[in-house]
Chains A and B, each alone.
Chain A
Amino acid sequence: MLETITFSLLNGLLYGMLLFMLSSGLTLIFGMMGVLNFAHASFYMLGAYFAYTMGLYTGFWVALFLAPVIVGLLGAVVERYGLRQVHQHGHVPELLFTFGLAYVIEELVRLFWGNVPMNYRVPEALDFPLFSLFGTNYPAFRVFVLVVAIAMFVGLYLLLKRTRAGLIIQASLSRPDMVSALGHNVPQVFMWVFAFGTGLAALGGVVGGIQLVTEPGMAFMMGPIVFVVVVVGGLGSIQGALIASILIGVLQTFALSVDWSLANVGILFGYAVPPDSIFATLWYMDSTRIAPILPYLLLVLMLIFRPRGLMGKRES
């Protein structure tokens, strides 16, 4: 039992942290510009591919820093010459723009790297078991991912709460007109926030591409779940994104680790659905098979009962 809980927590935390790396940038962009950036996960994918390709020449450690920077600059270009032009026409064209962009990036990735998954592996320096718990090894790379994610959260938090730049960003988030009136170049702030957000997603990709799989479908796989994190956590809230990510990660992993179904609850109350009724499928379904839809269930419930999310400040 203790073993199950420990490993579910560890694995859930890791998955949650990966989700956080992806969604922290999105929550900034979403909260600030009101843009549902459908292409956000595509920048995550670009991060993984750039890091893999660069890693072949420069090694992993250089790529770890360089790939997010390059993707971030790419994000800046997309904002400056794409989104900003579309922005004049309202939110719907923006949405369609990012939607199209996601497909364009996926096709480009297929064109340059092909359809086959990349052999993007753990760097040798981290390819060893760090510690052993209950006879199961815990790989060093997983711990490394955790460390990177925590460093990212702390850095982001300090940047937003303790620096002047963070002050302006936060102000632009809620009162863009006022910030503009005070003489700040709000469009430029938007551009750098977008660049920064895509860079963070790319950093998630650099480590996530190793931990999961680097292939052209990875963006569409992660796309929906990242929105769940942003909505559950609350728009524009970094702490909210962190809590939501870990919540989803742990929830999903626990559902996978324990044998549980609605029938177990029913037995406590002395109630059981007859096996031949139409509800029996749902009633006796294993939690392991429900696990993949749990985050979306959470999304639906959150939107009904607390539309601003866990830590969000605004209703919309």
Chain B
Amino acid sequence: MQTKHRWSGVLAGIAAASALALTSLTAAQANDPIRIAYIEPLSGPFANVGDAGLKHFRFAADRLNAEGGIMGRDVEIVPMDNSQSPSESAQLVQRSADQGIPFVTQGNGSNVAGAIIEAVNRNNRRNPDNRVLYLNYAAVDPALTNERCSFWHFRFDAESRIKIEALTNYMQERDDIEKVYFLNQDYSHGHVIEETGQEMIREKMPDVEIVGTQLHPIGQVRDFAPYVSRIRQSGADSVITGNWGNDLSLLVRASQDAGLDVNFFTYYGGGLGVPAAVGQAGIDKVSQITEWHANVNVDEGHEDYKTWVEDFKERYPDIDWYYHRVYNQMYMLKAAIEEAGTTDAEAVANALSGMEFESHTGTVTMRADDHQLIQPLYISIMDGDVEYDVENTGVGFRTLSKISAEEATLPTSCEMQRP
């Protein structure tokens, strides 16, 4: 008798405890932060790039939280170091899914982005209860929204061919460009620029000569002097490069040391250590194509965004607000979660797909066909006489040409598999 009583007591206890645990679990979910896994190189040659991105995301998350978060829940960025390795990134996607993190964001390296798309697709197929969304803020290989497009992937930067198209359109109007050289990193991103760039130059500017193309291993070159002397000997007046981070700052620094006098048409010349490496020598030489730069705020009078940029500078005096797309991404995610009423990946993806968003630079649209954000772009050049400088150099960027969202569009071959 006695044992029986004891057993029922234990049972009742367990029942009560588990009921309590359950309620506290649901309560916790409602107040738990919405977590976003940030998978980037936080060590190795591109650590500075990963670090700058993390500061952007943390700043944007803090802003969101100060404004009341998303549906009353805070946003939390969970940094994960992938050492710029695709295989490690795939494992990190798995780890964040295991931790129940519904969103992954990454941008540095299209090869890494490709691995993440595969990992996310696989996870979402195998674990329908624990699906993950991949928000890509910088990887620009066209394949990611064409052959390899995925319902779970959203790209907030303009794809590479759009940028090349806009750049060559601009170069066509300049009559001082006669000889062009391509120097790029030896992986999908660099290959695309080299191939598409040559194609477009031949088509639009038949009288412009392509005097050389060169690929170099990504993140491995410490001394660009041999490459610079090749550029010199080719007689090029302009270099087109998709290099980023150290691969660009070291290149520009080496050409400065050698006294090489060429125009640099870059994707990423406006931040991440490059302006600090170039300084005054970049004036009227280094151009970039981006979705925004700080002096757009002056030209177009975005007073509230000016404050945002200045607050960021105050918090991180060494760098500047560079990724406007992080702003777009975070606020579009907020809008999508609020529209879906949940953080469930499929519901949020459906809300994001086709979403129109009022950004500072105009209306941007997440095209439903391939999940590529269609947005205005700016070609800008280094200038010593602008309101906002970058990386405390006294040199900032001046807009040369604005490309409207309608123009900055290319068709897609994506055949999207929707769940």
Which chain A residues have a beta carbon within 8 Å of chain B's beta carbons?
3-4, 7-8, 11, 14-15, 110, 115-117, 119, 129, 132, 134-139, 211-213, 215-217, 221, 253, 256-257, 288-289, 292
Contacts and interface: CB of A to CB of B under 8 A. Distances in A.
A115 B47 contact: yes
Given A115-B51, A136-B232, A289-B186, A256 B222 contact: no
Interface string B385-409: 0000000000000000000000000
Interface residues of B, number: 32
Nearest to A222: B222
Given A137-B257, A257-B229, A213 B45 contact: yes
A215 B214 CA distance: 26
Nearest to B258: A136
A138 B246 CA distance: 22
Contacts of B43: 110, 115, 216-217
B246 A139 contact: no
A11 B223 contact: yes
Interface in B224-247: 225-230, 232-233, 246
Interface string B253-293: 00001111000000000000100100000000000000000
Contacts of A132: 259
Nearest to A135: B232
Contact of A11 (B51, B226, B233, B260): B226
Nearest to B49: A116
Contacts of B220: 221, 292
Interface string B44-63: 11011011000000000000
Contacts of A212: 222-223
A136 B260 contact: yes
Contact of B246 (A7, A213, A292): A213
Contacts of B226: 7-8, 11, 253, 256-257
A224 to B, nearest CB: 12
Interface of B: 42-45, 47-48, 50-51, 186, 214-217, 220, 222-223, 225-230, 232-233, 246, 250, 257-260, 273, 276
A221 B222 contact: yes
A11 B229 contact: yes
B243 to A, nearest CB: 14
A119 B216 CA distance: 24
A39 to B, nearest CB: 19
A149 to B, nearest CB: 15
Contact of A115 (B42, B230, B232): B42
24 contacts: A3-B233, A4-B233, A115-B47, A115-B50, A135-B259, A136-B228, A136-B258, A136-B260, A137-B259, A138-B258, A139-B258, A211-B223, A212-B222, A213-B222, A215-B47, A216-B44, A217-B43, A217-B45, A221-B222, A253-B226, A257-B229, A288-B215, A289-B215, A292-B217
B396 to A, nearest CB: 20
A8 to B, nearest CB: 7
A28 B40 CA distance: 40
Contacts of A136: 228-229, 232, 258-260
B259 A129 contact: yes
A4 B226 CA distance: 9
Given A7-B226, A211-B223, A256-B227, A116 B232 contact: no
B216 A116 contact: no
Contacts of A4: 229, 233
Given A136-B232, A137-B257, 16 more contacts: A3-B229, A3-B233, A4-B233, A7-B225, A7-B226, A8-B226, A8-B229, A14-B225, A15-B223, A138-B258, A211-B222, A213-B45, A213-B222, A257-B230, A288-B214, A289-B215
A156 B196 CA distance: 53
A139 B224 CA distance: 13
Interface-centre pick from B50, B186, B222, B260 (highest chain A CB count, 10 A)? B222
Contacts of B186: 289
Please give me the 3 A-B residue pairs with the lowest Cβ-Cβ distance, nearest first. A137-B259, A212-B222, A115-B47
Nearest to A4: B233
Nearest to B261: A135
Given A288-B216, A289-B215, A116 B47 contact: yes
Contacts of B44: 115, 215-217
A7 B227 CA distance: 11
Interface-centre pick from A7, A129, A211 (highest chain B CB count, 10 A)? A7
Contacts of A217: 43-45
B258 to A, nearest CB: 5
A243 to B, nearest CB: 21
Contacts of B225: 7, 11, 14
A253 to B, nearest CB: 5
B281 to A, nearest CB: 12
A245 B327 CA distance: 49
A12 B222 CA distance: 13
A31 B257 CA distance: 38
Contacts of B276: 119
Contacts of A7: 225-226, 229
Contacts of B258: 136-139
A4 B231 CA distance: 11
A256 B223 CA distance: 11
B56 to A, nearest CB: 15
Contacts of B229: 3-4, 7-8, 11, 136, 257
B204 to A, nearest CB: 27
A36 to B, nearest CB: 24
A14 B226 CA distance: 11
A56 B222 CA distance: 23
A134 B232 CA distance: 10
A116 B48 contact: yes
B274 to A, nearest CB: 13
Contacts of A116: 47-48, 51
Contacts of A117: 45, 47-48, 246, 273
Contacts of A135: 232, 259
A212 B246 CA distance: 11
A257 B259 CA distance: 18
